[in-house]
Amino acid sequence: MTNADIARVFKEIADMLEIKGEDAFRINSYRRVARTVDDLATDIADIAARDELSNLPGVGKASAAKIQELLGTGWLKLREELARQVPESVLELLRIPGMGPKKVALLWQQRRIDSLDSLKEAIAAGGLDDLKGFGKKTLAQISDGIEFLQRSVGRTRLGNAWPIAAEFHDTIAAMKGVKRVEQAGSLRRGRETVGDLDLLCHADDGESVIKAFTQLPGVTKILAAGGTKGSVLVELSRGREIQIDLRVVPEESFGAAWQYFTGSKEHNIRLRERALKRGWSLNEYSLSDSKTGKVIASREEADVYKALDLPWIPPELREDRGEFEPDAIPPDLLTDGDIHGDLHMHTTASDGRNTIEEMAGAAKSLGWKYICITEHSRSSTIANGLDPMRLKQLIADVRETDRKINGIKIWAGTEVDILADGSLDYADDLLEKLDFVVASIHAGLGKDIKTNTERTLAAIRNPYVNLIGHPTGRMINSRRPMSLDMEAICREAAKTRTALELNASMYRLDLKDQHARLARDLGVTIAICCDAHGVESFAQMHYGVLTARRAALRKADVLNTWTTKQIEAFVQAKRERR
């Protein structure tokens, strides 16, 4: 079984226990194991073989034994026992945004609703109108959630799709006779979700490459296999697959094909209109004269754009969102190499998997100049949040580590919860002792837009808050964003010199690209942070940068491209305004 399989089993056990109304401590212990396993960078089977399962955060002897049982047999007795008590179809209801185990338990126990279909039927028939806790507003939200869930089916998160595309890219590139391989489609454009994966290659013998492609490990079904195109399905997770298309393209047409298959559709329409005005045609083979058939450009992408009197447009900006306007493409559009550090991460002091020293070492190996340790605050009990005494100890530990490790600055911070009334989980006199403060909303995201906005604005106005973490609280494909007046948030952030986070976690990418562009236009500073709970999460910074490029963010717009002294001055300037 894979790490994801084992994490799923533990999560399902926690869900079923909560639906049954079992002890909260027991439920949370299973959730923590699920999160620990799912976030591992190494194969859990290797850890089990070294008899080191109990060294993992939250994994005790009993949990280790259950993991061994799963690895050895492929199933878990406890999970099967619970599935006889709680129908597995009931777990489908938890996929609806805003539907937690308590609501699901009520539906199942009092109305015997055990699937999405039965829930839709009950709502349509008015069968839930008299159920306590399911008023008109709640039922409308559930209906919207079901619709959202159905829309998201078939879309894969960028961070899940990227490694698969990279693996197939590298494998194809190593095949005999292959001269060039490139990614295309929405993945190349850095969209937060993708429908399928597109690869182009140039090869001596296209038919043999297609044949080898369709026989690669991981392929579950061959959809097409011809001389120039192959399509396969590859397993993502249990019950989920993604389609990969490989096209073999002549060398002389590679640029035109790469541009065409990268898209977007709207961007390509604008390019074709531009070509038509010149009496030319543009397709996946070439840009050519419509009358004579003479090829004007085809070999390289840049040649196509140049012939149409355009600069080469970075793929992340090809969405017909103003990229054709003069000066629309910043000369200093953000790149991965511009990032100097990360200002939001967790260690073993709360719910992370690595120590301060390990996080600092990994960041230093990436060439980063600084990091900030931002543990959860006390209200985040499930995340082992720190009370004031533990926070003070963390500050001391960070200071000591900073003295020991040369070549990287380590700051002491927090990810402090923004409470329901807009106040913070720590008092100002404690926040003042920190180098940098991230403030985030983790609970109560379902309030109305006015309440959510005022709550966030209150935190922005606090002189010690430097960054609002994952501002909308969304989880891609699983949880809707919190309703916010984003323009009001951005204006206040710009006024108070408070940064907004573009959380680079593949599950969040929050702010999304449109909101990040709005923030940029209103003068807000953005910080791209991984919200890392382990050293392997630093790799997700790339997804944050891709999203920032889609927002046309410049290097200077992003806080963690600044120097150490500039960031310290940024923090101090806000404190002096109080």
Residue 373 tokens, joined: 């340790």
DSSP 424: B
Distance in angstroms (rounded) separating the CA atoms of residues 253 and 251: 5
Q: Under 8 Å CB-to-CB from 223, ≥6 apart: which residues?
A: 231, 232, 233, 243
Is the torsion defined by CA of 505, 545, 418, 464 positive or negative?
A: positive
Domains of the chain, first to last: 1-77 (1.10.150.110), 87-153 (1.10.150.20), 156-248 (3.30.460.10), 253-317 (3.30.210.10), 343-576 (3.20.20.140)
Residues 180-193: pLDDT tens digits?
Answer: 999 999 999 999 99
List, for residues 257-287, the tens digit of each pLDDT value: 999 999 999 999 999 999 999 999 999 999 9
95 neighbors 478 (Cβ within 8 angstroms): yes
Q: How confident is the model at residue 577 (pLDDT cuts 50, 70, 90)?
A: confident
Residue 120 has pLDDT above 70, yes or no: yes
Q: Detail the DSSP E strand segments found in 519-569.
A: 526-529
Average pLDDT of the residues in 112-135: 83
Residue 295's pLDDT is 96
User: Looking at residue 149, what is its pLDDT?
Assistant: 64
Tens digits of residue pLDDT in 439-470: 999 988 878 899 999 999 999 999 999 999 99
Residue 237 has pLDDT above 80, yes or no: no
Q: What is the pLDDT of residues 541-574, one digit of tens each?
A: 999 999 999 999 999 999 999 999 999 999 999 9
pLDDT > 90 in the chain, percent: 70
> pTM score, two decimals?
0.79
User: Pairing mode, if any, of strands 219-225 and 229-237?
Assistant: antiparallel
**Residue partners of 80: CB distance under 8 A and separation at least 6:** none
